[in-house]
Amino acid sequence: MTIFSRLAVGVALLAFPERIDAHRVPVERPNLQWGPKSPGHAFPHSPKRHKTCYVPSCGSNDAPEILKAFKRCNRGGTVVLNEEYVIASPLDLTFLESVDVAITGTIKFTNDIDFWVVNSFKYDFQNSSAFWRFGGKDWFNLIANSSDILVSDIDIAVKSESKNPAKNGDGWDTFRSDSVVIQDSYVNNSDDCVSFKPNSTNIIVQGMQCNGSHGISVGSLGQYPAEYDIVENVYVYNISMSNASDGARIKVWPGTDTPFEPGLSGGGGAGYVKNVTYDTFYNNNNDWAIEINQCYGQSNQTICDQYPSNMTISNVVFKNMWGTTSKKYDPKVGTLTCSSTEKCVNIAAKNISVVNPSGRIPQWICTNVDESLLDINCVPATS
């Protein structure tokens, strides 16, 4: 299951420290602020909220009542979800304008996989789907599908109730979005904790606790030959990452379309990753503390060498990182593997004190990167 959030100007997701009074008193809008890092400019003014819509839970399918509440409180209201809700049908909220969402209860989706396969919202560009989507005014007219968004104090858990693991369970994805802050939240899942998809710019992620994920990831990018993907000006700060495949991660596809898994292939797209910083990052039992991969989805090194990525990665900084990796690659703790020196420029690592469980000298695989900028113990991939 992928929770794919599409938010527009004037929409805010809010989490209150206490469950809102069941007597349904008017909700005082919290003064949420980003911090300590900021996107560099103030968000546009959003009008005062003048009405509140509470949603009663029926215990079966609450989607119709939630939809009614958003229609009643659209254009200047607050929708309060303070009970336990079950979503058994797709919920399309792409009409929102100047509305807050106060989530103090619990939202669960039914496990009827056959139903969701047919009825969910499809996003073929990422081979994923969604059961609930947000959107707002001028969605199709904006250069960025979402802008000026603050997401704060939201907990997300993705788990399977069967013997089969959950798939594609990203916590937060940004796509064609500008000026987004995601902060002070907890994600327990099995895919990217936060992922910056194509054309994400001016993004802040801070104060996050992630467990069981694939890290905080740039990408994947360059999957489609006709597309030009951009991720620029991203700051990831004060992160605790546990039991993950990766901590800080950048993943781009090779320079030609290649098979990835049955029914899915990718590669050949172009674009760039620029001005990305991972700062103050704790690793606990992650397989890789840092991973840069410019041949994502392809294990055949011959193809990687023959078709280097069309994506350029530049001005990336990893700093103030510590903790202990898992045993999986011990004594190696990270990999920075680029397709060519021209495609990876100005990649720096500073104040890195990540160790491995064995206590041996930590090793970092470094390929086609300027090792003079890396405050780590680089070794070749063949070591």
- Cβ contacts of 364 within 8 Å, gap of 6 or more: 290, 332, 333, 334, 335, 336, 374, 376, 377, 378, 379
DSSP conformation class of 358: T
Q: Which amino acid is at 270?
A: A
Reply yes or no on whether 214 is catalytic: yes
Contact 220, 252 (CB under 8 A): yes
Q: Which amino acid is at 169?
A: G
Helix (H, G, I), strand (E, B) or coil at 24: coil
Contact 39, 128 (CB under 8 A): no
Q: Which amino acid is at 303?
A: I
- Cβ contacts of 302 within 8 Å, gap of 6 or more: none
Token pair recorded at residue 298 = 């392809």
Q: What separation in angstroms does the CA of 47 have from each of 35, 78, 176, 234, 243?
A: 22, 12, 25, 28, 42
Helix (H, G, I), strand (E, B) or coil at 41: coil
DSSP conformation class of 330: T
- Between vectors from CA 152 to CA 149 and to CA 154, what angle results, nearest 5°? 120
Give the C-alpha separation, 312 to 289, whole Å. 22
Among the listed residues 23, 41, 50, 214, the single catalytic one is 214
Token pair recorded at residue 139 = 């969605």
Report strand pairing: 200-211 vs 186-188.
parallel
Q: Which residues are catalytic?
A: 214
